[in-house]
Structures are given as C-alpha cells and as structure tokens.
Amino acid sequence: MKIYRTLFICLALAVACPAAADIYRYEDPDGTVHFTDAPTDRRFKIFMRDLKKDKKLRTSFKLPGYARNPAEFEPIIQSCAKEFGVDCSLVKAVIHAESGYNPNAVSPKGAQGLMQLMPKTAQGLKVADSLNPSDNIRGGVRYLRFLLDTFKGNEELALAAYNSGLNKVARYGGIPPYQETRQYVSKVLSYRNNYR
C-alpha cells in the first residue's frame, strides 16, 4: 500500500507541476518514500533537478536532454570515487554544480558532459567520449584526484583549479579573485555537505 501511495504522490507532483521546481526525495527507515519541492529536513536529497527554471544553467548549456535521476549514475560515481580515492559526495557535488546531472550538457566554451570536461583536458585524461557518463565521470574524478594531490588535499584550491584552471590558482597563490570561481567553490562545498 505504501508503494502505491508513493507512486501516486510522485505522479501527482509530476503532472501537477511539470518542471516547476526541483523535486527532493527522502526514504524513512520503514521504507516510506517522501517527495517534496520544498525540503524542510536535511535528509531530503535532490531527486529531479529543474533546469528550466535555472536561468544560469538554461543560458549556459545546450540541453539536448534534461537532467536525469542522479541515482542512475550512483554505481559509476561509487566505482570511480573508490578507484581514485575521492569523496563520493564531492564528486556528486561537482556533477551537480557543473551540469545539473545532464550528461549531454555542453557549455559555450566547449566543456562537455556531467563533469564538464574541456576537450583538451579530456584528451589528456584519455577520455574517449565526454558525453558518455562512464567515461566522463571517470575522467572527471581522475582529474579531481590530480588536483587534490597537487594542492595537498586542499579541496578549496582543487575546486578553484577545476573551475578556472591550474595556472590561475598558481598565479594568484590561492583562489583567484573571480566572483564566478569564488561562488563555484562555495556552491560545490555546500552541495557536498548536503550529499553527505
């Protein structure tokens, strides 16, 4: 009975307000699943992201396909995070900030896929297809590992370099004084805390 009630609520949300807001999900210990577009509890995690309302994402990316269920990529994320020794929640946060879980996202500068790899970076990481979720996540996590090692585990500097490039972080001896980069670092760390 609980399963049917959950499915009904989920369908009702989808029909009543298609792409009107982000949808969050939380599962009780007894198996009851809750959905909301206005989470009041930290246990709610993003289930479906509304890219249509996000002006920045909408204008920054070509969206041949919208965001997919983040849980779909969980096995790939877990595997790559374990392989390269990177915190799973950090990987999820980067994907969330970079593409909103849209594997087909392409930025105006040419960055592609879930972790928004630039073609030259992807080539250096031996990523065969940046729009292939498995290839993209593996390459992105490998790059994150490299940046974390370069900055001796300092996540803020690694994320700043992921956003603006190693040279800029080296030039300024820390997070570059760009509003976009500073906001990016703050946003990813906030997402990471929510995914934990």
CA 30 to chain CA centroid, Å, is 29
Which of these CATH numbers, 3.40.50.300, 3.40.50.720, 3.40.30.10, 1.10.530.10, describes 55-195? 1.10.530.10
Active site residues: 98
| Stretch 82-97: mean pLDDT | 96
With a pLDDT cut of 70, the percent of the chain lying above it is 72
3-state SS of 15-52?
A: HHCCCCCCEEEEECCCCCEEEECCCCCCCCEEEECCCC
CA separation (Å) from 125 to 48, 85, 136? Answer: 30, 17, 10
Measured over the CA atoms of residue 97, residue 189, residue 143 and residue 43, the dihedral's sign is negative
Q: Where are the domains of the chain?
A: 1-48, 55-195
pLDDT band at 79 (very low <50, low <70, confident <90, very high): very high
Kindly report, residue by residue over 131-180, the tens digit of the pLDDT.
999 999 999 999 999 999 999 999 999 999 999 998 999 899 999 999 99
pLDDT for the residue 24: 64
